[in-house]
Amino acid sequence: MMKTAFLAFLETRINQLLKLDPVTIEALRSLDGSVIHFNCLQPEFQCYVFLDALGVRCAGWHEGSVDVTFQGGASSFIELSADRVSAWDSIKGLNVSGDPEVIAALESAHRKMELDWESLICERIGPVAGHTLVEGMRLIASTFVGAGESLSAQGAVYLQDELKVIPSEPELSAFSREVDALRGSVEHLDERLNKS
Amino acid sequence: MTDKVRDQDKTHFGYKDVKPDDKEKLVAGVFHSVADSYDAMNDLMSMGVHRLWKRFTIELSAVRKGHQVLDIAGGTGDLTKQFSRLVGDTGRVVLADINDSMLRVGRDRLIDQGIVGNVEYVQANAECLPFPENTFDCITIAFGLRNVTDKAEALRSMCRVLKPGGRLLILEFSKTNNPLLTKAYDAYSFSLLPAMGKLVAGDSESYRYLAESIRKHPDQATLEAMMKEAGFVNTTYHNMTGGIVALHKGIKP
């Protein structure tokens, strides 16, 4: 029942988002009747997405044939949802198989997708609060992106500086050999002193 | 001993023994009384979970474009609405209910939602379905079989009108196998349910009947055996919410 509940929730959200992008709805309408199978290998999870004129329908069971199968780990599905520029076959760990025409149409729709998520927020909480929230989210996101870029740049400088003072591997090996030789000489001297 | 319930002296109506012909009238009275508040009460009683039970039924139905579907005891049309979308313009969904009040509420609701064109409405008794043999690809009966006077006869009638290879799905309250859950469920259905019925629908007796009729309904294994007896093969059932509800599936050979 948990899976059924999750899929019901997912279906509602996907259809809400699709309503914000008439171009994608039109593209999916041309695929009316297609069945897409999502097979996540790790963690194990399967679901079927049915495309029709009214949007998408998600189901945990399907006994007929499928048009396209997406198979891979959770990380590859996350990459698929985040990366709308790269070709699907370049996404590591993701295997897309099935009807080439449907795959091409889906890939094209995925690339052109422009979901107006701001209007969804504004619809829910009102235009003033919605835009304020969206601006806040943008500010937080840009702060994180800036902090990430700064950390990355400063990290590179730090590593370059550190490289100047950190001894290289051959220097460490030579130093280690010298320490061994000194220890051997000290032991040898100690033996001679004990004898005399 | 005769097989037909209608030839016997008595049958059950909740915990009461009544004449078989009287049960139909008493059940009709219950549904005439609750028809207008049926949806609200369903949501309230199940805390919305009935939508998930029905959703799972749709998933297991394997209904697709062009199919002929019969939704028996379809009531307010929850399943019919979904099936109408699945069968498309080339298919057909028949919403059947023995109770004209329920059928009227279902028909009005579906028409108000723009679901027209591939849906038909038939007032029919599940024991003698008014359709030719081998008509439907799928038959569903959700929360209706326990109210049928002669369940075995109804199952035979469903098998008759199904096409070979067609499937019957029975969604119905059943028996929990967890003693703790059973106690909690009993307390809920015999104390809280009639109180909610009085508050929302102004009728506690109908909801007391609901609780009693669930207890008198055959358990999962018995219903599966009845389906086999009626001629279905590859019968299985899925327990949901700890067995409070079970979905039985059978195929007509």
In order of their start, the domains of chain B are: 7-176+210-251 (3.40.50.150)
Q: What is the pLDDT of residue B83?
A: 93
Check whether B5 has a pLDDT greater than 70. no
- Closest residue in B to A58 (Cα) is B59
Pick B197 or A10 by higher pLDDT: A10
Q: How far is CA B178 from CA B53, B80, B221, in A?
A: 19, 33, 16
Check whether B31 has a pLDDT greater than 70. no
Q: Are residues A33 and A84 in the same domain?
A: yes
Q: What is the pLDDT of residue A90?
A: 80
Check whether B37 has a pLDDT greater than 70. no
Q: Please report, rounded to a whole number, the percentage of residues in chain B having pLDDT higher than 70.
A: 84
Q: Are residues A22 and A108 in the same domain?
A: yes
Q: Are residues A76 and A96 in the same domain?
A: yes
Average pLDDT across chain B, whole number: 84
Residue of A12, A61, A62 best to disrupt the B interface, most CBs of B under 10 A: A61
Question: Tens-of-pLDDT digits for all 196 residues of chain A?
Answer: 788 899 999 898 888 888 888 888 888 888 888 899 999 888 888 999 998 877 889 998 888 889 999 998 888 888 887 777 777 878 888 888 888 988 888 888 888 877 777 777 887 788 888 888 888 888 888 888 888 888 888 888 888 888 878 888 888 899 999 999 999 999 999 999 988 7
In total, the C-beta contacts within 8 angstroms joining chain A to chain B are 27
User: Three-class SS of residue A169?
Assistant: helix
- Closest residue in A to B238 (Cα) is A1
Q: Are residues A106 and A19 in the same domain?
A: yes
Long-range (24+ apart) CB contacts under 8 A made by B20-29 are: B20/B149, B20/B150, B23/B149, B24/B98, B24/B125, B24/B149, B27/B99, B27/B147, B27/B149, B28/B98, B28/B99
Q: Are residues A85 and A139 in the same domain?
A: no
Cα B20 to its chain centre, rounded Å, is 19
B207 Cβ contact partners less than 8 Å away, ≥ 6 residues apart: B34, B41, B45, B193, B194, B196, B197, B198, B201
Q: Which of B159, B174, B183, B162 lies closest to B217, judged by CA?
A: B174
Q: Are residues A68 and A160 in the same domain?
A: no
Q: Are residues A104 and A190 in the same domain?
A: no
Asked if B173 and B245 touch (Cβ cutoff 8 Å), the reply is yes
CA–CA gap between residue A8 and residue B174 (Å, rounded): 24
Q: What is the CATH number of the domain that holds A28?
A: 3.30.1050.10
B49 contacts A64? CB cut-off 8 A: no
A2 touches chain B (CB under 8 A): no
Q: Are residues A133 and A96 in the same domain?
A: no
β-strand pairing of B245-251 with B162-173: antiparallel
Pick B248 or B211 by higher pLDDT: B248
Q: Are residues A100 and A188 in the same domain?
A: no
Please report which confidence band the pLDDT of residue B26 belongs to, taking 50, 70 and 90 as the band edges: low
From A66, A97, A115, give the residue that closes a domain.
A115
From A90, A115, A140, give the residue that closes a domain.
A115
Cα B201 to its chain centre, rounded Å, is 20
Per-residue pLDDT, averaged over B59-83, amounts to 90
β-strand pairing of B162-173 with B92-97: unpaired
Buried b (16+ CB within 10 A) or exposed e, A36-68: bbbbbeeeeeebbbbbbeebbbbbbebeeebbb
Q: Are residues A123 and A191 in the same domain?
A: yes
From A115, A140, A174, give the residue that closes a domain.
A115
Check whether B48 has a pLDDT greater than 70. yes
| Complex-level ipTM beyond the 0.85 threshold | no
Q: What is the pLDDT of residue B13?
A: 64
A1 contacts B64? CB cut-off 8 A: no
A23 Cβ contact partners less than 8 Å away, ≥ 6 residues apart: A112, A113, A114
A9 touches chain B (CB under 8 A): no
Q: What is the pLDDT of residue B51?
A: 87
Q: Please report, rounded to a whole number, the percentage of residues in chain B having pLDDT higher than 90.
A: 41
Sort out which chain B residues have CB atoms less than 8 A from A6's CB and list them.
Answer: none
* Residue B243 region by backbone torsions, left for phi larger than 0, else alpha for psi between -120 and 50, else beta: left
Nearest to B52 among A5, A33, A62 (CB): A5
Total domains, chain A: 2
Q: What is the pLDDT of residue B216?
A: 78
Q: Which of B146, B139, B158 lies closest to B80, judged by CA?
A: B139
Residue A60 C-alpha, separation from nearest chain B C-alpha, in angstroms = 7
* Residue B241 region by backbone torsions, left for phi larger than 0, else alpha for psi between -120 and 50, else beta: left
β-strand pairing of B16-18 with B119-123: unpaired
Residues 33-62 on A with a CB inside 8 Å of B are 33, 52, 54, 57, 59-62
Asked if B3 and B149 touch (Cβ cutoff 8 Å), the reply is no
What do you get for the CA distance between the two ends of chain A, in Å? 89
Q: Are residues A108 and A29 in the same domain?
A: yes
Sort out which chain B residues have CB atoms less than 8 A from A62's CB and list them.
Answer: 59, 62
CA–CA gap between residue A130 and residue A119 (Å, rounded): 8
Asked if A148 and A156 touch (Cβ cutoff 8 Å), the reply is no
Q: In which domain, by residue range, is A143 found?
A: 118-195
Check whether B201 has a pLDDT greater than 80. no
Pick B69 or A25 by higher pLDDT: B69
Min mean pLDDT across B1-5, B161-165, B237-241 is at B1-5
B128-186: pLDDT as tens digits: 999 999 999 999 999 889 888 888 999 999 999 999 999 999 998 888 888 888 888 88
CA–CA gap between residue A28 and residue A12 (Å, rounded): 16
CA–CA gap between residue B123 and residue B192 (Å, rounded): 32
| Backbone dihedral angles phi then psi of residue A52, each to the nearest 5 degrees | -145, 180
Q: Are residues A147 and A92 in the same domain?
A: no
